[in-house]
Amino acid sequence: MAKHPVIGLLGGGQLGRMLQEAASPLNVELAILDAAGSPAKQICENAKHVAGSFNDPAKIRELAARVDVLTVEIEHVNADVLEEIATKGVSVGAGRPLKKVPCHPSWETIRLIQDKYLQKEHFLREGIPVAPQMAVEGDSLTIEALQAVGDKYGFPFMLKARKGSYDGRGNFQVRGPADFDEAIRSMGKLSLYAEKFQPFVKELSVMVVRTEDDDGNLRDVHPYPAVETVHEDSICTKVFLPPRGVQAEACEQACKVASNVIRTLKGRGVYAVEMFVLKDGGIVVNEVAPRPHNSGHLFTEAVPYMSQFKAQLCAILDIFPGKVTLQPRVESAIMLNILGGAEEESHDKLVDIASRSYDTNMDVYIHLYGKASKPGRKIGHITVTSSAANIASLEQLAGSLTKEVDSV
Ligand code: ATP
Ligand code: MG
Ligand code: MG
């Protein structure tokens, strides 16, 4: 790879913006493919940026021709084009040989993860614990087909879009036969699968850094500590480090499972492994995101020497310190998502309070993404940390801020 490699990034949202924030001190150049004025482009000028969609084959090729390696901030990208560029190459001018540009994570991983059903079939084959699932025909989704799922898995069960879902959009909880009509109406046109409902007591997430040599052989996997994620209406709203009321052994186990999951995938970078913890302490893997993730935001402050974004860059460039332990430098941390409210300015008061917040027992960090506010849209987040308070005490200290977040 070139001495000062240029990383091409598909997607310029908030994850790209925070990747850019980590890239600057390393003097790593990012060329971004997304619309002009996207959150990541707002904070870095670069003649190598490409304006357009991260799903447009021609635009992806244009970006690839300008960079040394490709990465993504979103998994819903065109994996076929990434495969073509990595294996056959991309044109860099008439009469010149095609240039092969690798993608991290691998296009194979991106393709696998895009289809949540195939993703979990893969984990099942690899001996990773996942919820029972079955494919159902979206085009011919019938009451009989839904009843058959109910007979097998009981109610409620989850009906999920195989592709394209995020923040729970693409998920439908079928509580009983009364929901069948609505399920068919809202989901019937999608490619679907059904999943057994998991009566979890906690949701955990573990970010894992995967390093590889130039031949794609696994060097190592490095898990961050497990965090607790809280979802409201299927969207992540809060993250707690360490998880509240979860034994240290269960957290260790979650890190082990997550590391095993990432050993089965291909490509350098950070990955998020979302998991359910059941009443008996059992762990079930929900899904993987092959990129920096909302649940890893608090490591920017909690593990200040290695944010998930720096980890992504270091892994891709193969300069990740192999001995790093990823141990937090704080006792506890909480991440609160700022979601757009009913009005454009619904979150203004919260931002004002969080920006002015000062407390000797708690550090408050605000991150705004430069996005227009829409109801339920992730437009920023707040991280609070404490070097002395445990997670229960920090939750109390952050109580009034949390109340403001909830009221947006
Ligand atoms: P993301 O934004 O994380 O990509 P997504 O749209 O892919 O979300 P999932 O992760 O499948 O959606 O589900 C969102 C949330 O819905 C989960 O975090 C969990 O709270 C709940 N959920 C999903 N599947 C199940 C299940 N089988 N049993 C119980 N709850 C579930
Ligand atoms: Mg998902
Ligand atoms: Mg999820």
| C-beta separation of 334 from 383 below 8 A | yes
Cα 217 to ligand 1 centroid, rounded to whole Å: 31
DSSP 5: P
Cα 170 to ligand 1 centroid, rounded to whole Å: 10
Residue 321, pLDDT > 80, answer: yes
Q: How confident is the model at residue 34 (pLDDT cuts 50, 70, 90)?
A: very high
Cα 164 to ligand 2 centroid, rounded to whole Å: 8
Cα 289 to ligand 2 centroid, rounded to whole Å: 7
pLDDT in tens, 158-204: 999 999 988 888 999 999 999 999 999 999 889 999 999 999 999 99
Ligand sitting nearest the alpha carbon of 198: 1
Q: How confident is the model at residue 16 (pLDDT cuts 50, 70, 90)?
A: very high
Closest CA to 118 of 267, 287, 274, 255: 287
Find how far residue 148's CA is from the centre of its chain.
Answer: 33
What's the mean pLDDT in 43-52?
Answer: 97
Residue 354, pLDDT > 80, answer: yes
DSSP labels, 180-242: HHHHHHHHTTS-EEEEE----SEEEEEEEEEEE-TTS-EEEEEEPPPEEEEEETTEEEEEEES
Global pTM value: 0.97
Ligand sitting nearest the alpha carbon of 234: 1
* Ligand 1 atom 21: residue of nearest CA: 234
Cα 19 to ligand 3 centroid, rounded to whole Å: 21
pLDDT of residue 187: 93
The mean pLDDT of the chain is: 96
pLDDT in tens, 367-377: 999 999 999 99
Ligand sitting nearest the alpha carbon of 235: 1
Give the atom of ligand 1 at the shortest distance from the alpha carbon of 195. 27
> 385 forms bridges with which residues in the sheet?
333, 363
What's the mean pLDDT in 41-66?
Answer: 97
* Ligand 1 atom 2: residue of nearest CA: 167
Q: Give, for ligand 1, the residue of 76, 159, 171 to mutate: max count of ligand atoms closer than 8 Å to Cβ.
A: 171
Cα R_g (the chain), whole angstroms: 21
Query: Count of CB atoms within 10 A of residue 179's CB?
Result: 19
pLDDT of residue 115: 97
Pairing of the two strands 29-34 and 6-10: parallel
CA distance 255 to 227: 10
DSSP labels, 102-168: -BSS-HHHHHHHHSHHHHHHHHHHTT--B--EEEE-STT--HHHHHHHHHHH-SSEEEEESSS-BTT
Q: How confident is the model at residue 97 (pLDDT cuts 50, 70, 90)?
A: very high
pLDDT of residue 186: 93
pLDDT of residue 1: 61
Give the atom of ligand 1 at the shortest distance from the alpha carbon of 131. 27
Q: How confident is the model at residue 2 (pLDDT cuts 50, 70, 90)?
A: low
What's the mean pLDDT in 378-382?
Answer: 97
pLDDT of residue 333: 98
Helix crossing, 79-87 with 57-65: angle to 10°? Answer: 40
Cα 287 to ligand 2 centroid, rounded to whole Å: 6
Q: Which residue has the higher pLDDT, 311 or 138?
A: 311
Give the atom of ligand 1 at the shortest distance from the alpha carbon of 286. 10
Q: Give, for ligand 1, the residue of 158, 160, 173, 293 to mutate: max count of ligand atoms closer than 8 Å to Cβ.
A: 158
The 10 Å CB-count burial string (b at 16+, else e) for 89-108 is bbeeeeeeeeeebbbbbbbb
What's the mean pLDDT in 224-231?
Answer: 98
Ligand 1 site: residues with CB under 6 angstroms?
A: 131, 158, 160, 165-171, 195, 197-198, 203, 231, 234, 274, 286-287
Residue 3, pLDDT > 90, answer: no
Residues, beta carbon < 5 Å, ion ligand 3 = 274
Residue 35, pLDDT > 90, answer: yes
Query: Which residue's structure tokens are 């130039």?
Result: 214
pLDDT of residue 168: 86
CA distance 42 to 12: 9
Residue 52, pLDDT > 80, answer: yes
Residue 146, pLDDT > 90, answer: yes
What's the mean pLDDT in 269-277?
Answer: 98
Query: Count of CB atoms within 10 A of residue 17's CB?
Result: 24
> 32 forms bridges with which residues in the sheet?
9
Cα 92 to ligand 3 centroid, rounded to whole Å: 38
Cα 293 to ligand 1 centroid, rounded to whole Å: 14
